[in-house]
Amino acid sequence: MQNQDFKHNSKLAQILAQLREQIKQKYSFMEVCGTHTVSILKNGFRDYFKNKIDFLSGPGCPVCVTAQRDIDKIVCLAKQNVIIATFGDMIKVPGTKSSLEKEQAKGADVKIIYNPLQCIDLARKYKDKKIVFIGIGFETTAPVIAALVQDAYQKNIRNLFILPLLKTIPQAINFLLQSPKVNINGFLLPGHVSVIIGENPYKFINSKYQLACAIAGFEPLDIALAIKSLLSQIKDGNPKIDNVYRRVVKKEGNPKAKVLIFKTFQKCDTYWRGLGIIPHSGLKLLDKYADFDADKNFSLEFEIEEKATGCICGDILAGIKSPLDCKLFGTKCTPDNPIGPCMVSIEGACSAFYKYGLTSINK
């Protein structure tokens, strides 16, 4: 639904008209989820609130935040006569010199999967091969990867490995908010991640930074209600974690999924593209599952070099720049020829801007 179609949804149109009317100064709201970025662009929110709200894309796309050095590590693995099992978005992301797609063209065995649990079938089918699953994602994906590890452990599967590149969102938000370059008045918090972790892990955003927060769903009305909540919190000087996605997100999150995560992983420092190392923002396998850890079972020696490509994905993920600030956007960098991960993933800001936002970018 583009913005001109808001009038076909009277409740939504009414809320939006009231909101636009009441905004007297410009605000910057960060959405910390690639699905929100897509929905905001696709549904015309940027145009509708032009000069009133800047929507900043945060570090909420798992492919985008995977560092160049981790892509190089994946490429290094792909060269070792293994089967790489990965979500499809990962194969085009360029590392320093290569990508999974390029390695596949040279003969590497790369299989695209949709559910990590498919790796059990792969391990059984290809008994004489080592299967390495590229475990990217946030708290949303962590439980299913944990289930994979638990299942493989119980079934004593010996030819399956996980490269754990999981990241956690609250630590990234905290890190961003410590930067003097970041100017944010409120957060649309990610619906999917919140389904797992609930409301409490975000409380520091209110107490430490006095910023408004709304946990939001992905339909246009969900986003409108989240914006309404942020504006109201700012007006009242009463920042809180307002869950406007209660039909899906429970205050306590999903306790079973949380137990599964902490039975399988432990916190670690991890490297985010463009942001650097963020303390305690990663999940690595517990020592009990070391036999499944690709980091511990393969020779992964490669030189860490961050190649300068002109890509500004890091600044976009930090909410400092927009895709149109990139000189390569739409010229040298397109979805068919992506230079950075934000153009590869369908949830990446550059890809979403390219598809839906060429006329509506808040620079």
Quick check: 61 binds ligand SF4 (CB under 6 A)? no
The residues with which 84 forms a beta bridge, in sequence order, are: 110, 132
In angstroms, what is the C-alpha Rg of the chain? 21
Name residues contacting ligand SF4, limited to 324-353 (CB under 6 A): 326, 328-329, 333, 339-340, 342-343, 350
Residue 13's contacts (CB-CB under 8 Å, 6 or more residues apart) are 6, 7
The stretch among 139-147, 155-163, 241-249, 308-316 that binds ligand SF4 (CB under 6 A) is 308-316
How many binding residues for ligand SF4 (CB under 6 A)?
A: 14
Quick check: 361 binds ligand SF4 (CB under 6 A)? no
CA distances 194 to 168, 215, 228, 241, Å, are 11, 7, 19, 11
Closest separation between CB of residue 164 and ligand SF4, Å? 25
Closest separation between CB of residue 41 and ligand SF4, Å? 14
Based on CB atoms, which residue is closest to ligand SF4, 72 or 199? 72
Name residues contacting ligand SF4, limited to 261-300 (CB under 6 A): none
Quick check: 356 binds ligand SF4 (CB under 6 A)? no
Say if CB 137 and CB 166 are below 8 A apart: yes
Of 16, 2, 5, nearest in space to 222 by CA: 16
Closest separation between CB of residue 326 and ligand SF4, Å? 3
Quick check: 91 binds ligand SF4 (CB under 6 A)? no
Of 64, 54, 68, 42, nearest in space to 322 by CA: 54
Based on CB atoms, which residue is closest to ligand SF4, 15 or 343? 343
Q: What is the DSSP letter of 348?
A: S
Tokens, residue 356: 């839906």
Residues that bind ligand SF4 (CB under 6 A): 311-313, 316, 323, 326, 328-329, 333, 339-340, 342-343, 350
